[in-house]
Structure formats: structure tokens, C-alpha cells
Amino acid sequence: MHDVEYAQIFVSLLAIVNPLLGIPLFVSVTEQMPSAARHRAARSAAITVFAVLAASVVAGEFILGLFGINVMDFSIAGGILVLLMAINMLNARADGGARISADERLEASQKASIAIVPLGIPLLAGPGAISTAIIVADMSNTIQHRVILVGLCVVIGLLTYGALRAARGVSALLGITGMNIVNRIMGLLLAAVAVSFMVNGIQRLFPILATTQTPAVAIHEP
């Protein structure tokens, strides 16, 4: 795979994790915490995001095989899931619509530690992120490919940590309107990623569609 393709994979994973989504919840539930505790929570959430993504890259296909699911079917299902999340983000749903329920949000506000659940899972590293990691891991069977993907997961984890460490400043700087604008941009990127996943899955299920070409239309000058 070329560098450009890995850049596209990185943008896709970053868009679907979208660390900015965790900022409102993180700010609200850590408001009364001392600075050191907030930093530990941010670190734990970032490690959770990395661990979930890396595990999906390394063992996702094996886990699917245990349930008799092939990656082609999963690519279509994952694409549909990501598309639903993208639509919710385009409608300015702050939590992506399919990531965290009202009950989970309420439980988070009452827990001493929310870094792993529900902040790390499922708000940031949720079903869409897991699906995306498994699908992109299947693009190549080489060890090098998976090592590079794990490296990208490390970078996303670091960016998540940085975003949560700066959560208060970012929240004050962007405000509700700014956060909605960012979410809509991320939603647009995710919609394109979702369509790509579905098209790729359909073409692998029906290879004839990948080779079918539209005949050229001849244009005759008068």
C-alpha cells in the first residue's frame, strides 16, 4: 500500500474516533476533580482507545472467524453503521448518535472514574471505530501492514490524550457552535468512508461489479 492510502486510513480512523466528541463529557464529569486526577483520566481514556483499536487490528478478523463472519459481510455492515453515525454527526448530534446512551451518560456522571467506560468505550472507541479498524486491517495480510496500523493507533491515542488534556481550553475556545461545525465536517468525512466500505464489500462479494466498465459514448461532431 502507498503512503497516500495509509494517510487515508489515518484520517478515517481519526475522524471516527474524533477525540473532540469526548470533550463535553470529560469536562462535565471531571469538573470537580483535581488537576492530577483529570490528567490520569485523560491518560486512561487514551490508553483504552489505543488498546481497543490495536486489538481490533491484530485480532479482529480472528474474532469474526469464531462467529463465522467473513470480513466482506462485515465491511458492508460496518459501512452501514458508520454511515448512520455520520448522518447523526451531520445533524449535530453531539455523541454521534450511536455511541453512548442517556443511561450511560448518567452513570458516567456518578462514577469516580469514567476514563475507560463510557469515555474510552463506547464514546471514542465504539462500534464504528472497531469496525473501521477490522476492515482496514483486512486490506493486506502482511505483518508490515498491521505494524503500521498499530503505529497509527498509537498516534490516535496520543492525539486523544492531547485533546482531553486540553479539554477545558478547547471547549471554551470552540463553544457549542464550533464543536457542531467540527462534528459536521467529521460527519461528512465519515459518510465518504462509509460509502467506500460498502462499495468495497459489495465488490468483493460480487467481483463482476469490480470489473464492469461503462462503455464509452462516442461524441460525433456535426
- Identify the band that residue 211 occupies on the pLDDT scale cut at 50, 70 and 90: low
pLDDT at 132: 93
At 94, the pLDDT band (50, 70, 90 cuts) reads: low
- pLDDT at position 189: 87
% pLDDT > 70, the chain: 82
Q: Is 188 left (phi over 0), alpha (psi -120 to 50) or beta?
A: alpha
Tell me what the mean pLDDT of segment 92-111 comes to: 57
pLDDT at res. 159: 97
Highest mean pLDDT among 33-37, 103-107, 114-118: 33-37
Q: How confident is the model at residue 217 (pLDDT cuts 50, 70, 90)?
A: very low
Domain regions of the chain by residue span? 3-211
The pLDDT mean for the chain works out to 83
Count of CB atoms situated within 10 Å of the CB of 160? 28
Q: Is the pLDDT of residue 219 over 50?
A: no
Residue 34 — φ and ψ, nearest 5°?
-70, 165
Q: What is the pLDDT of residue 151?
A: 97
Digit-coded pLDDT (tens) for 107-151: 555 555 678 888 888 889 988 999 999 999 998 889 999 999 999
Q: Does residue 16 carry a pLDDT above 60?
A: yes
Residue 45: other Cβ atoms inside 10 A: 29
pLDDT digits (tens, 9 = 90+) for 158-191: 999 999 999 989 988 888 888 888 888 888 888 9
> Is the model's pTM score more than 0.75?
yes
Q: Is the pLDDT of residue 8 over 50?
A: yes
Q: How many CB atoms lie within 10 A of CB 111?
A: 13
Cis amide prior to 24 (ω within 30 degrees) = no
Residue 96 predicted with pLDDT over 60:
no
Mean pLDDT in residue range 49-71: 92
**Euclidean distance between CA atoms 67 and 120, whole angstroms:** 25
| E strands present in 14-111 | none
Across the range 23-51, mean pLDDT stands at 89
